[in-house]
Structure 1
Amino acid sequence: MDPEPARKRLLIVAHCPSENTRLLCDAVLRGARSPEVEGVDCRAVAPLQAGPEDVLAADALILGTPENLGYMSGALKDFFDRIYYPCLERTQGRPYALYVRAGQDGTGTCRAVATIATGLRWRPVQEPLVLRGPFQEGFAARCEELGLLMAAGLEAGVF
């Protein structure tokens, strides 16, 4: 009898300072925990609570942040500051996705996250999901789809 394959681990690191950003993170989690995906464990951790051990234990990440003054949240930047060197040589090629709740255009936020992720040698698996303008009901559905696609891709070994 073949042993059961090891479950993959998906880590969501999302800053949720508002009810709307909490709804988005919950939607990502809902998608990642879909019954369609059986071989992936998923958990969400706030950036100020996440550390290098969380990243090292993950097979892939989804990062979530509001746009703050054209940049990522300070909490997500703090997360990167604390995990950068402990993870630098040990997480190369780690797949990740990003979603941004942008009041403006999200360009600076996406560029800043991509710069740090490139330094870590992480691999983006899709274009950032940028949710622009006033909050819309459809944002949650797009986040849920992101979570599902990321978990399904991880389970299937696509990345």
Structure 2
Amino acid sequence: MSRLLIVHHTVSPATHELFEQVLKGATTDEVEGVEVVTEPALGATAADLLAADGLLMGTSANIGYMSGALKHFLDTVYYPCLAETRRLPYGLWVHGDNDTTGAVRAVESIAGGLGWERAAAPVTVTGRPAKTDLEACWELGATLAAVISPAA
């Protein structure tokens, strides 16, 4: 069985709503053979990442950057996981009140340095999530689960 790790910092209601949709997509009955594990960004460890076959990250965009919690996770896992997680498929969702560009750029820069492979385009949402945003988050979760499914 493959393991999908979802690391998130979802303190705002909007970001948490997006997380719930990502989780629903990742656990859809349409994809088999994938165990989904969720960890808050401040609690996720290198051991969690090393045990994963894929990674989804969710964050708010704070002052043009990812949340400090997600940055802490990425700082924590960088050196212990640098060699062992090359080519790890990952996905990202970001919510901001007005701009998500800096947050996406920062996460993708770190993921690139780790040698991870983006499995789906980032889902970026500004303001209140619309139905299409929620659907995109569901698709993101389902896509990452399908990418790592042993049946794929």
- What is the deviation of 1:38? 1.4
Give the TM-score, by structure 2 length: 0.94
Bigger Rg, which one = 1
* Structure 2: runs of 5 or more not aligned: none
User: Does structure 1 retain, via aligned residues, the 8 Å contact 2:33–2:151?
Assistant: no
Alignment of 1:35-50 (within 5 A): 35-50=29-44
Misfit runs of 4+, over 4 Å: none
Alignment of 1:91-130 (within 5 A): 91-130=85-124
Coordinate RMSD, CA, aligned: 1.4
Deviations 1:37-56 (A, max 9, x none): 11111111100000000000
In terms of mean alpha carbon deviation, does 134-143 or 48-57 score higher?
134-143
CA distance in 2, matches of 1:16, 1:138: 19
In terms of mean alpha carbon deviation, does 11-20 or 59-68 score higher?
11-20
In terms of mean alpha carbon deviation, does 54-63 or 132-141 score higher?
132-141
CA distance in 2, matches of 1:37, 1:134: 29
Counterpart among 2, 6, 10 of residue 8 in structure 1:
2
Give the TM-score, by structure 1 length: 0.90
Counterpart among 26, 29, 36 of residue 32 in structure 1:
26
* Structure 1: runs of 5 or more not aligned: 1-6
- What is the deviation of 1:102? 2.1
What amino acid is aligned across from residue 127 of structure 1 in structure 2?
A: A
What amino acid is aligned across from residue 31 of structure 1 in structure 2?
A: G
% same residue? 45
Of Structure 1 and Structure 2, which has the larger fraction of its residues in strand?
A: 2
CA distance in 1, matches of 2:145, 2:129: 25
Deviations 1:117-136 (A, max 9, x none): 11111111122111123332
CA distance in 1, matches of 2:5, 2:16: 16
CA distance in 2, matches of 1:54, 1:149: 20
Alignment of 1:57-68 (within 5 A): 57-68=51-62
User: Does structure 2 retain, via aligned residues, the 8 Å contact 1:10–1:43?
Assistant: yes
